[in-house]
A and B are shown apart, each in its own frame.
Chain A
Amino acid sequence: MQVQDIFKKDTSKELLSIYYTAGYPHLDSTMAIAEKLEQAGADFLEIGFPYSDPVADGPVIQHSSEVALKNGMTLPLLFQQLAALRSRVSIPIFLMGYFNTVLQYGVENFCKSCQEVGVNGAIIPDLPMYEYEELYQEVFAQYGISNIFLVTPQTSAERIRKIDALSNSFIYLLSSNATTGKNLEVGEQAEQYFQRLKDMNLTNPLVIGFGISDKGTFQKATNYAKGAIIGSAFVRLLADDNYIDKINPFIKSIKTS
């Protein structure tokens, strides 16, 4: 599926995206979770590749990364697991992780592997705009891989415009300046900021993440944005022995109106 499609067609639809860490809770759980999430109705996914020093993450995703690394997850192994991706899962998939892992794999090699297995894009929080533009934009474009930028309440309007110009699938709007997994109130201030972004009429759709954990926060976020991302709240669910059976009710609890 072309990633741009889900953001364009059926414009009234609110998109639910789920983040989880590859190799957690088990080394080989990556594909099974993706399939189950698609069946349950998730619209697109972010699959995290673990890193030893995830500075943008709170305790839940830190823990999942640590366990995944202990289980033996690596980027080459993840691409092996994803080899059958497009025969089993059709919704858009983004890989999310830290830059050093990509650098060691080779940035071009990374883009090439993404293209080969059918991954649509990447979210690399510590790859800054300047470095992306100078060094890597071309190779991402060459392999048709979208690079997703983050925007926070502190990001200036000028910078947001530039991010919009460099993006080609969606912009990841952080509900607050925070690490992942904080239980945030989407309060008046956040709503004002979402409104400000909405009023900017950016070319790329907005997807809100960080602090989205349930139906209430999902609905609030999608009042202003095309979609919202749930990470830590979902990863927490995976700690359960019966996690596969919990996925469907979790997604349904958020998506049914």
Chain B
Amino acid sequence: MSKYQVNEKGYYGPFGGAYIPEMLYPNVEELQKKYLEIMQEESFQQEFQELLKDYVGRPSPLYLAKRLSARYGANIFLKREDLNHTGAHKINNTIGQILLAERLGKKRIIAETGAGQHGVATATVCALKGLECVVYMGEIDIQRQAPNVARMKMMGATVVAAQSGSKTLKDATNEALRDWINNPVDTHYIIGSVVGPHPYPDLVARFQSIISEETKKQLAEKTGNSLPDYVLACVGGGSNAAGMFYHFLADEQVQLIAVEAAGHGVNSGESAATTALGKEGVLHGSRSILMQTEDGQVVEPYSISAGLDYPGIGPQHAWLYKSGRGKYVSITDDEAMEAGLLLTKLEGIIPAIESSHALAYLEKMKFQGNENVVICLSGRGDKDLDNYMKYFGF
């Protein structure tokens, strides 16, 4: 196993673990003991692959963006997770976890969501499987993301407003964890990112690893070489980046670039650039890098992109950052919005604002002219039209 993957104790270097109260221990232990075994079952793999193909629409294309390439002087490939059913990479993980939950005999699914993308992806697979679904969403986010709330409700999910703390993603996660504490037997918690207690970061990364698995094959077909020079992805909690990096981790010649949200600027006080602003800490069950006060209180992050608006990063990302395997950078709201508009004008693709952060980093790179670059286009921009309209005044 690569030194960048989780060890048998649930750690990535000094990060990870399962910092959970005893009330969650039986549920988490059950997952720890069974997840690999279940994922390796033939019937699981068969159903998972079939759903990814026929329901999600995989493999997602790897698209050589010619006009974008011409502008930057490199061969820029977009991994089109935006073309998945429900519009983002999130569905890869929820499909995997619902099959896992079924095999664990769980009857009830809970999830947290920020902007609603993971909530929608979870409600979708619950409808698909006929399982009860409860999604926790910050009260403020519910007001900001009405269409996604409607989608979840149409699919039969109950959307519960998280009214504690700052009433956003972090608090929705707290509420979901509290629900799990109070429903210790029949409920599975589908975490949407590579965060949470072990085995979640590994579990979610494995389900998302289909992104890099396909990319390698597609790139070999298109260029004769499965390894690009650069791989870029945006990072909130870090699930699309974890999936995009997964099969490249051992190929040290591939430069991995993770793009965080700088909000109004890293030092503006309104930012979500976790590696720049955070320090080691424990939140939502794992030890990682965390934006916090000197006293250890979690700081509320800010980004124009709700999907990157999280005060921590997954423990594997903390390790990739600390070990130097990954380069962690940040992009401001303004830079991301311009990059989103640029892709729309040059390629006719409206990206999610999350993905626009990864695209924006191209401006800061210097190319010789022949490098191959893969960018994970993690989601489509339909959900962000309101934001784009307000920002550009369309």
Q: How far is the CB of B179 from chain A (nearest CB, A)?
A: 9
Q: Is the CB of B21 within 8 A of A150?
A: yes
Q: Is the CB of A125 within 8 A of B21?
A: yes
* A127–B282 CA distance with the chains assembled, in angstroms: 10
Q: Is the CB of B296 within 8 A of A51?
A: yes
Q: Nearest B residue to A154 by beta-carbon distance? A: B26
Any B CB within 8 A of the CB of A53 = yes
Q: Is the CB of B296 within 8 A of A100?
A: yes
Q: Is the CB of A152 within 8 A of B23?
A: yes
* A105–B184 CA distance with the chains assembled, in angstroms: 32
Residues of A within 8 A of B165 (CB): 52-53, 62, 66
Q: Is the CB of A69 within 8 A of B297?
A: yes
Q: Is the CB of B178 within 8 A of A55?
A: yes
Most buried by A among B165, B174, B185, B295: B295
Any A CB within 8 A of the CB of B181 = yes
Most buried by B among A55, A75, A154, A159: A55
Any B CB within 8 A of the CB of A11 = no
Q: Is the CB of A131 within 8 A of B17?
A: yes
Q: How far is the CB of B140 from chain A (nearest CB, A)?
A: 16
Q: How far is the CB of A113 from chain B (nearest CB, A)?
A: 14
Residues of A within 8 A of B297 (CB): 51-52, 69, 101
Residues of A within 8 A of B290 (CB): 100
CB-contact partner of A178 in B170, B181, B185, B284, under 8 A: B181
Any A CB within 8 A of the CB of B149 = no
Q: How far is the CB of B310 from chain A (nearest CB, A)?
A: 12
Any B CB within 8 A of the CB of A103 = yes
Q: Is the CB of A174 within 8 A of B23?
A: yes
Knowing A99-B282, A104-B281, the reply to whether A76 touches B295 (Cβ < 8 A) is: yes
Residues of B within 8 A of A152 (CB): 22-23, 25-26, 184
Q: Nearest A residue to B19 by beta-carbon distance? A: A126
Residues of A within 8 A of B21 (CB): 55-56, 125-126, 150
Any B CB within 8 A of the CB of A74 = yes
CB-contact partner of B292 in A59, A100, A131, under 8 A: A100
Interface size on B, residues (CB 8 A): 34
Any B CB within 8 A of the CB of A256 = no
Any B CB within 8 A of the CB of A20 = no
Q: Hey, what's the 0/1 contact readout for B12-52 against A, CB within 8 Å counting as 1?
A: 00000111111101100000000000000000000000000
Most buried by A among B17, B165, B282: B282
* A55–B19 CA distance with the chains assembled, in angstroms: 11
- Docked complex: A95-133 residues within 8 A CB-CB of B: 98-105, 125-128, 130-131
Knowing A56-B21, A76-B295, A128-B19, the reply to whether A100 touches B164 (Cβ < 8 A) is: no
Q: Hey, what's the 0/1 contact readout for A58-80 against B, CB within 8 Å counting as 1?
A: 11001000100100001110000
- Docked complex: A143-177 residues within 8 A CB-CB of B: 149-152, 154-156, 159, 174, 177
Any A CB within 8 A of the CB of B134 = no
Q: How far is the CB of B87 from chain A (nearest CB, A)?
A: 30
CB-contact partner of A56 in B23, B282, B296, under 8 A: B23
- Docked complex: B80-98 residues within 8 A CB-CB of A: none
* A130–B198 CA distance with the chains assembled, in angstroms: 13
Binding site for B on A (CB under 8 A): 51-56, 58-59, 62, 66, 69, 74-76, 98-105, 125-128, 130-131, 149-152, 154-156, 159, 174, 177-179, 182
| Complex A-B: 27 CB contacts under 8 Å | A51-B297, A53-B170, A53-B174, A53-B283, A55-B177, A58-B178, A74-B295, A75-B296, A99-B282, A100-B282, A100-B283, A101-B296, A104-B292, A125-B22, A128-B20, A130-B9, A131-B19, A152-B22, A152-B26, A154-B25, A154-B26, A155-B25, A156-B26, A177-B181, A177-B182, A177-B184, A179-B182
